[in-house]
Structure 1
Amino acid sequence: MTLLSLSQLTASYGATQALFGVDFEIAEGEALAMMGRNGMGKTTTVRCICRMMPAKGALVFDGHDLSRLPSHRAARLGIGLVPEGRRCFRDLSVTENLSAAARPGAWDAAKVEALFPRLGERRGQLAGSLSGGEQQMLAIGRALMTNPRLLILDEATEGLAPTVRAEIWAAIATLKASGMSMLVIDKSLKELRGACDRVVILERGRSVWDGTMSALSPDVVEAMLGL
């Protein structure tokens, strides 16, 4: 069953067009990697899905036309976002950050702390006093507390120490094994190969390649990603 579908998605920042035709689908229980060089439209696509900016084209989540919905209603349908840059509530504690986002479902504070034990050790600590890696764990935990049907992770490991990156990738693998549908934006091809089923590549605001991770050849990686 298709959970999210984008077709000929276009979007602009004022007079400057950023997306010229983004197309992809995510099935229930599937993890899709979205890749591309910097400035190719990945975060803009995420903003459109989460209804943080207007877009044209077909944008459908679980049969609902997202283009007609404000961001809070899109979230209530089950879209959970881990934004680029973490954006925790710095003046709230770890527990307060988690409870602020809580919605009924399988994910609760205890389950988040089992996924990220560091958060359990810092329940009463203000988010602003956490390390960068711990803040990223909190941002993921906060998104999970909304009990999403689709989890979007926008550069969730960028700028983190290798040991923390490994912890977060291990958590992503755990989520994948549990059947969580995910859209993962990252540059780490090795880790994405282990965590995702398929990949879509954006170039200049367009989808230019879509396929399984096993079909992603070195020639495609070099030509379209420069890796």
Structure 2
Amino acid sequence: MSLLSISGLVASYGKSQALFGVDLTIEAGQVVALMGRNGVGKTTTVRAICRMIGSKGSMVFAGTDIRKLSSHQVARLGIGLVPEGRRAFRDLTVRENLVAVSRPGHWDIDKVVALFPRLSERADQLAGSLSGGEQQMLVIGRALVTNPRLLILDEATEGLAPNIRREIWATVEQLKRESGLSILVIDKSLSELRAVCDRATILERGRSVWSGAMDDLDREISQRHLGV
């Protein structure tokens, strides 16, 4: 059984329909890329998975139909989100950000600061005073201490300096290699996605138009659906 199985996902913002039929499957331990040009429905798909927006269609996580669950119920079921735009709890310290959401399991604060040593140096600093890269490390760590079965990274390297982007990608590689986590990655950098992802699903105008092994994503498919 797949860890996450989505079929025929449809979602709207009021009267404006954003998704017209998204199909997405993630197996346990897989790293999957959700790709597509800007505005095709990638973040809307993430919001639907995390129950931040209503949707129709089939959506099963770890054997549970999650369509009627609330956001906090989905989080408790084992979905950890690193949202677009970071969104750390700015008025809490680094340590407080981690303590606030921590749940029992493999990932605790000590393991997170071992993954991101800079967070140890900033433990008593307000999150709002951190650099963009440090905030991103914190938000990834915050998702990890919920001990998810599926980690969702929505544009986790967007707007960061090149050296910080490299550090984030190295962390994703390390998580894949050492943790056994399933990871859904939304990003624009095809070369980095190729290095860490097992499979990819491409969206176009709110629909899934291609899905397959990352090795099968050739130049023709990339140019047709991604413009690269």
**Which residue of structure 2 aligns with residue 99 of structure 1?**
99
The amino acid of 2:170's aligned partner reads: A
* CA distance in 1 between partners of 2:110 and 2:88 (Å): 19
Distance 2:216 2:125 in 1: 45
Match of 1:143 in 2: 143
In the other structure, the counterpart of 1:208 is 209
Secondary structure of 1:60's counterpart equals strand
What is the TM-score when the length of structure 2 is the normalising length? 0.99
Is 1:9–2:9 an aligned residue pair? Answer: yes
What letter corresponds to residue 36 of structure 2 in structure 1? G
Deviations 1:157-188 (CA, angstroms, capped at 9, x unpaired): 00100000011000000111121100000001
Query: In structure 1, what is the equivalent of residue 32 of structure 2?
Result: 32
* Partner residue, 1:187: 188
Instruction: Give the aligned residue type for 1:193.
Output: R
Distance in 1, matches of 2:167 and 2:120, equals: 15
Structure 2 residue 201 is matched with structure 1 residue 224 = no
Q: Does 1:196 align with 2:183?
A: no
The percentage of counterpart residues that share the same residue type is 68
Measured after TM superposition, the shift of residue 196 of structure 1 is 0.7
**Structure 2: distance between partners of 1:41 and 1:89:** 26
Q: Any gaps of 5 or more consecutive residues in structure 1?
A: none
Written as runs of structure 1 = structure 2, the 5 A alignment for 1:73-84 is 73-84=73-84
Counterparts of 2:224 and 2:7, CA distance in 1 = 24
**Matched letter for residue 113 of structure 2:** E
- AA at the equivalent of 1:215: D
Pairing of 1:122-141 with structure 2 (within 5 A)? 122-141=122-141
Aligned residues: 227
CA–CA separation in structure 2 for the residues paired with 1:82 and 1:142: 8
Letter aligned with residue 224 of structure 2: A
Aligned to 2:117: 117
SS at match of 2:3: strand
AA aligned opposite 1:173: E
Write the distance in 2 (CA, Å) between the matches of 1:22 and 1:69.
19
CA distance in 2: counterparts of 1:101 and 1:221, whole angstroms: 38
Q: Which runs of 5+ in 2 are unaligned?
A: none
Over aligned residue pairs, what C-alpha RMSD do you find? Answer: 0.6
Distance apart, 1:8 and its partner CA: 0.3
SS in 2 for 1:24: strand
Alpha-carbon shift at residue 68 of structure 1 (Å): 1.5
- The one-letter code sitting in structure 2 at the alignment partner of 1:61 is F
Give matches, 1:36-47, under 5 Å: 36-47=36-47
